[in-house]
Amino acid sequence: MSPSSATRLSRPTRNALTTLSRPTSRSPFSPSLHHHRPISSFGYTQSRALIFPDYGDPASILSLHTHSLPPTHGDHLTLRFLASPINPADINQLQGVYPSKPTFTPDLGTPHPVAVGGNEGVAEVLAVGSGVKDLAKGDWVIMRSPGFGTWRTHAQTTAAGLLRLGEATREGITPAQAGTVSVNPCTAYRMLKDFVELKEGDWWIQNGANSGVGRAAVQLGREWGYRSINVVRGRETEAETEALKAELRELGADVVVTDKEAMERGFGDRVKEWTDGGRGKVRLGLNCVGGKLVTSMAKVLAPDSRVVTYGAMAKQPVAPPAGLQIFRNIGFDGFWVSRWSDKNPVDKEKTVKHVLDLTRQGKFKDSPMEEIRWDWDTKQDTLVRAVAGTLEGYRQGKGIFVFGDT
Amino acid sequence: MSPSSATRLSRPTRNALTTLSRPTSRSPFSPSLHHHRPISSFGYTQSRALIFPDYGDPASILSLHTHSLPPTHGDHLTLRFLASPINPADINQLQGVYPSKPTFTPDLGTPHPVAVGGNEGVAEVLAVGSGVKDLAKGDWVIMRSPGFGTWRTHAQTTAAGLLRLGEATREGITPAQAGTVSVNPCTAYRMLKDFVELKEGDWWIQNGANSGVGRAAVQLGREWGYRSINVVRGRETEAETEALKAELRELGADVVVTDKEAMERGFGDRVKEWTDGGRGKVRLGLNCVGGKLVTSMAKVLAPDSRVVTYGAMAKQPVAPPAGLQIFRNIGFDGFWVSRWSDKNPVDKEKTVKHVLDLTRQGKFKDSPMEEIRWDWDTKQDTLVRAVAGTLEGYRQGKGIFVFGDT
């Protein structure tokens, strides 16, 4: 369903001078007169964006807004989005409970300032102003930092916040892959690399192993020769649980257990068995769940190991016995890829490119995604439902807007 | 009450050949025939030790045991202890709940193997065997690692486990000061130096501020230009609380509050006031209490700060909200000076010597201690009560055996 880059590039750019004009009504239900091509008079590009005027329940605050972008000039570029995922953090941001706040701006021609939803995505450069040096028409770009507002068809911005994916980098990469490389794979990558020095053959353990980050970590860890113990929530039936375990083993997981198994007495002995009688050391724990499960995981770590928390799905804090910290020197860190990206732009770029290299080589698969096609005429209702649906969790992984005929 | 080194050195060494013999009864109630000098025939030194045959309640397992040490030979040295503190960890060790286990040995002439209590202390070298190179009669030594068994009048050992305090190092230092430099001051020193890079003017916060470690940290921090927020448990009366606050400010504490104050709403605002409207950053938390107090403390830390846990007096885990870890990158570490000492023998020596230098310069005061004089004739009951009393907590700080006429 996702358009290939070849398809994209063969189409006329959207800011071509034309005499057609388009309605700019905020209502998604107003009939679109020109459903094939959002083009405007005098070089203006038409854009549609999922906007919100204030925090609240996603289903009630989001609306589809149409507005014009002026001709590309100066140090500005005009982007057309190709793919923008719906991450859980995006939902938290809409709800106002995420520390990274969007910018509410009057620039979109609304009566009151609004923000555009979405933080991750990939876009192609439609046009560049005369002052833009390092980016050219046809380049793909991803966002260096969150807060851009990626749930929109087109946008205008400067080059500073963009990371270029040149021809070589994006070869063989789908928009969905490029549009989801910044958050989950980077999170997994840095957590495996930056907290404990794992050597080939060393073990690590994670919960939420079937999450996007979890699946990325399984594959990256395998690529680097690290061996993994993966904890997943048990499914409704044993058959489903076994299928999930098999799926993760297929990705490269060495061991997969349910959270119940990980919290049973004797888990430590099982870990010993798996790790060659304890000669293999478990040196790192990755946690996106919280609660007592993390204590069970921390107890099987070798002294001087660390647990890195990047999520709290169980909404319970990590509360390890003090003895684990003091006498076994188990450290507890947090990781937030947004903060890391802001502080490490060069490493961010390297990480993204390495993951895309591995993807191209068939060594890294993106996580299951539910693609929601976003054409110019796609109804507000469809788009908003896709966002609100993330609250319930997509059966096939997370949702991603893949832009079609915009 | 503590004997000066001059006094110690002017006395005859204890392994001088003499024809006097002494009773070796284990009972502390048997009359001592020769209460002035524990000397034996043919170069044997008599020693008395607080031993225990197995873990349990300190008051019921400890007994005072008298035994002989052979003439000093080969790579062995004979030590006479000068001062040995009673640390809370020593009690936990007796109870069998401390991860550092003592050695149970038959070498002390008991029918069954026994261990000697105590882990910290300072001794003078009475005699060295012909194979000993770097230590000489008259040197002071402290233990490099825990597990030595320091609650005894004399011991024989090799040089490997000893850290020499030469003439210059121990000048102006009392045995009580030298005997308590390894654990609390080293703990405070390394926690202030090894987890966060504090700069002059930076702030840090600790609970248990009136503990031995807390008082050491206040003084070392002040010496290095770090500013401290100190949390203490409120005393029974307001006057007592105020007196304690004043005492800590006298030592160098910038701010002292009770745990209740630190857990009140508005604590963050008060911290802001103290730290120049938030321009001063609180970058480190030291914790020996645990529980919700630590969350309150962690909340006033600047992003990228760390909390180091070295005790758990409240017997409650540290359970910070995940957001503090993920979004503010607050890390949670543990510190155990025993493990650190074993791994960093060179730094241990430097740290000890630096603290003793500061002590000599009047910049570092040892914590309040209740001295229990241990003479040859001191009764088992007195010594055991001193240990058991630590469970209730000495009003004047911790207990320390200061050896007199042994």
B258 and B281 inside one domain: yes
Query: If 0-12 CB within 10 Å is exposed, 13-18 middle and 19+ buried, where does residue A138 land?
Result: middle
Q: Tell me which of A318, A338, A358 is where a domain ends.
A: A338
Q: Do A291 and A175 share a structural domain?
A: no
What residues form DSSP beta bridges with B162?
A: B143
Measured distance CA(B226)–CA(B228) in Å, rounded: 7
User: pLDDT band at residue B397, thresholds of 50, 70 and 90?
Assistant: low
Whether residues B105 and B210 share a domain: the answer is no
Chain B residues lying within 8 Å of A311, measured CB to CB: 322, 326
- The shortest CB-CB distance from A322 to any of B303, B318, B321 is to B318
Q: Give chain B's mean pLDDT.
A: 89
Residue A347 domain-assigned?
no
Q: Is residue B230 part of a domain?
A: yes
The catalytic residues of B are 98
The residue behind tokens 């961010």 is A348
Q: What pLDDT is attached to residue B390? A: 76
Q: How far apart are CA A243 and CA B397, in angstroms?
A: 61
pLDDT at A15 over 50: no
pLDDT band at B391 (very low <50, low <70, confident <90, very high): low
In this complex, do B339 and A319 lie within 8 Å of one another by their Cβ atoms?
A: no
Tell me, yes or no, whether A356 lies in a domain. Answer: no
Look at B334 and A325 and tell me if their CB atoms are within 8 Å.
Answer: yes
Does B160 reside within a domain? yes
pLDDT digits (tens, 9 = 90+) for B123-163: 999 999 999 999 999 999 999 988 999 999 999 999 999 99
CATH number for the domain spanning A327: value is 3.40.50.720
For the stretch A216-240, pLDDT in tens is 999 999 999 999 999 999 999 999 9
CATH number for the domain harbouring residue B15: 3.90.180.10
Please give the C-alpha separations between residue A193 and each of A217, A221, A284, in angstroms, as whole numbers: 11, 9, 10
Q: Residues B258, B300: one domain?
A: yes
Contacts of B285 in chain A (CB under 8 A): none
B223 and B295 co-located in one domain:
yes
| B47: exposed, middle or buried (Cβ count in 10 Å: 0-12, 13-18, 19+) | buried
The number of folded domains in chain B is: 2
Query: For residue B352, is it within any domain?
Result: no
Is the domain of A175 the same as that of A311? no
Q: Are residues A22 and A151 in the same domain?
A: yes
A129 and A113 belong to one structural domain: yes
B296 and B149 assigned to the same domain: no
Nearest to A13 by CA among A108, A123, A168, A116: A123
b/e A365-394 (16+ beta carbons within 10 angstroms → b): ebbebebbebbbbbebeebbbbbbbbeeeb
Please give the average per-residue pLDDT across A80-97, as a whole number. Answer: 95
A322/B290 CB distance under 8 A:
yes
Its domain, for residue B60, covers 5-180+366-403
Question: B310 to chain A: nearest residue by CA?
Answer: A326
ipTM above 0.90, yes or no: no
Residue A353 domain flag: no
* B29 and B172 part of one domain: yes
Q: Is B324 on the interface with A (CB under 8 A)?
A: yes
Last residue of a domain, one of B287, B322, B338: B338
What is residue B401's three-state secondary structure?
strand
Distance CA A93, CA A90 (A): 5
- Confidence category of residue B4, pLDDT binned at 50, 70, 90: very low
Name the one residue in this structure whose structure tokens are 């905020």. A26
Residues of A in contact with B333 (CB under 8 A): 325, 329, 331-332
Burial class (CB in 10 A: 0-12, 13-18, 19+), B4: exposed
| Catalytic residue flag (residue A98) | yes
Which phi-psi region, left, alpha or beta, contains residue A251 (left: φ > 0; alpha: ψ -120 to 50)? Answer: alpha
* Shortest CA distance from B290: residue in chain A: A322
Which tens digits make up the pLDDT trace of B266-293?
A: 999 999 999 999 899 999 999 999 999 9
